[in-house]
Amino acid sequence: MLLRSWLVVCVCALSGCAAPPPYEKPVFDLPVAWTLEAPWREGRPDDAAAKGVWWERFGDAELDALAQRAIANSPTLAVAQARLGQARSALAASSASVLPQIGLSERVSRQKISANRPLTNYNAPNFATVQNELSVAMTVNYEFDLAGRVEQSVAQAQAALGQSAADLENTRLLLTADLASNYFNLRAVDNELDVLARAIGLQQRALELVDARHELGAATGLDLAQQQALLEATRVQLELLRRQRSQYEHALATLTGVPATQFTLASDVRERSTPAVPLGLPSDLLQRRPDIASAERAMASANAQIGIANAAFYPSITLGSGLGVDSRELATLFDAPSLLWSIGVSAAQTLFDGGRTRANLDFARAGYAASAANYRRVVLTAMQEVEDGISGLAALQRAALQAGKALATARRVLDMTRARYEGGASVYFDVIAAQQALLASERQVAQLQGQRLVTTVFLIKALGGDWSVPQ
């Protein structure tokens, strides 16, 4: 009766006084729409589309295969998956604290008791005794979570698990975006290498003509040297592009989990198109971007840490009980006189710790403030990345239209120059110059195509991947 009354008093005294701060998902003041310019139009995300395979929208089978290899073999992704497993185990361990702890102990010993041990009663002399002891006991311990420490520990573990899951999604998104960017950069270099190879062929032919004219005295040594310098400069550009291609190839090898020396990617010169990316609303970012979800879960975890630190100001109350048997002989171990039991409540309260508990609480509050600031930073960065992608693609679209017009004009100039040469109205050098101008326009088109593909990848990553809401 006394124990029950004491527990009631403790519950009444502690209930509500150690309640952790309520956590509310932060509300961010986002604009109602993106800043759009032609040729952009606001689209609506397709929530029914499969999440995560955004690279398939480019229609490149080789990119699809590389992405699957990267997801299967990437060490970076394996690290994130292992950390998710750790978070699951941590949650299971924290959740176990809600339940009572049951233990079973057995002891078999033979010991001698000293005859010279300290006396408990001067009227009762001590004797040296040699005896056996056999004991079997079961214990049950349960901590009353009056201050909310266990509850907040579970909440923190749940938030940490959510953060690890979001980090895994973010790692997968960054991995595939990095892979696609390097892949499209490599293909853009392939197109440029093809243009430069054709340019070198034209310049080599022009050099042979100048050399022949120089032998006949129709061209000066300066003309010959200038053509030779132009050819060598183009060959330098070719070698630099080959070096750049090898770097992209090595990056793809690492991303797919293959040693760089064992990875090769054949050249593929063709035109590639960019998929149309629906923008949706700015508020969609808060649901679709895994890094924002991770930052929000970090806030929830930091808030739970405040509750854990606050619970240290209040007593820790544990109910303990035990039931067992103890005897000198195995034959009497389970007899009624061998029965022993215990039940009780223990409470521990720190009275003075030099300010350590208060410092831990201040530390937890500062950690929550840091996580809140980091959440705001992540959201602002996401907004910036999307706007950069929108404006960048719009500018590249206009530049591609102008480059297409310049390419068409260069082709018409080449056709007219050839017609004039065949009619005897111009020399062959004019044809070669027109061909080189056409190749320069083709190279510019190839560069713009690569930049548009890479910028599209950047925008898809900024929007959180494929245009559907993540689970």
User: At a CB cut-off of 8 Å and minimum separation 6, what does 435 contact?
Assistant: 202, 414
**pLDDT for the residue 87:** 94
What is the DSSP secondary-structure string of 60-107?
A: -HHHHHHHHHHHHH-HHHHHHHHHHHHHHHHHHHHHHTTSPEEEEEEE
Specify the amino acid at residue 432: I
Look at the alpha carbons of 327, 333, 339, 340 in this order and tell me if their dihedral is positive or negative: positive
- H or E element that contains 345: strand 339-348
Q: Are the CB atoms for 450 and 187 separated by under 8 Å? A: yes
Task: Count CB-CB contacts under 10 A for residue 286.
Answer: 18
Would you give the end-to-end CA distance of the chain in angstroms?
A: 52
Per-residue pLDDT tens digits of the chain, which is 471 residues long: 444 444 444 444 444 445 556 776 666 666 655 555 544 444 444 433 335 688 998 999 999 999 999 999 999 999 999 999 999 999 999 999 888 999 999 989 989 888 888 888 888 888 888 888 889 999 999 988 888 888 899 999 999 999 999 999 999 999 999 999 999 999 999 999 998 998 898 888 888 888 888 888 877 888 788 888 888 988 999 999 999 999 999 999 999 999 999 999 999 988 888 888 877 667 777 778 888 889 999 999 999 999 999 999 999 889 999 999 998 888 888 888 889 999 999 998 888 889 999 999 999 999 999 999 999 999 999 889 988 988 898 899 999 999 999 999 999 998 898 788 777 777 777 878 888 888 889 889 999 999 999 999 999 898 888 765 444
Q: How far apart are CA 159 and CA 300, in angstroms?
A: 6
Q: Are the CB atoms for 157 and 94 separated by under 8 Å? A: yes
**pLDDT for the residue 356:** 92
C-alpha separations of 400 from 35, 39, 279, 411, 450 in Å? 21, 12, 21, 16, 11
Q: Are the CB atoms for 435 and 410 separated by under 8 Å? A: no
Please provide residue 34's backbone torsions phi and psi, each rounded to the nearest 5 degrees. Answer: -80, 160
**Is 348 exposed, middle or buried, given 0-12, 13-18 or 19+ CB atoms closer than 10 A?**
exposed
Q: How far apart are CA 151 and CA 160, in angstroms?
A: 14
Question: What are the tokens at 266?
Answer: 């054949």
**pLDDT for the residue 34:** 53
244 Rama sector, left if φ>0, alpha if ψ -120 to 50, beta otherwise? alpha
Q: How far apart are CA 196 and CA 240, in angstroms?
A: 11
**Is 304 exposed, middle or buried, given 0-12, 13-18 or 19+ CB atoms closer than 10 A?**
buried
Q: Which of 199, 189, 101, 188 is nearest to 150 (CA)?
A: 101
**pLDDT for the residue 31:** 60
What is the DSSP secondary-structure string of 128-178?
A: -EEEEEEEEEEEEEEEE-TTSHHHHHHHHHHHHHHHHHHHHHHHHHHHHHH
Q: Are the CB atoms for 398 and 453 separated by under 8 Å? A: no
Cα 442 to the chain's mean position, in Å? Answer: 38
User: At a CB cut-off of 8 Å and minimum separation 6, what does 272 contact?
Assistant: 58, 60, 184, 187, 449, 453
Q: Where are the alpha helices (DSSP H) in 216-284?
A: 221-255
Q: Are the CB atoms for 383 and 30 separated by under 8 Å? A: yes
Between β-strands 129-144 and 339-348, what pairing exists: parallel, antiparallel or unpaired? unpaired
Q: How far apart are CA 99 and CA 83, in angstroms?
A: 26
Question: What are the tokens at 464?
Answer: 């959180």
Domains in the chain, start-ordered, CATH in brackets? Answer: 2-109+131-462 (1.20.1600.10)
Specify the amino acid at residue 319: L
Q: How far apart are CA 149 and CA 156, in angstroms?
A: 10
**pLDDT for the residue 30:** 62
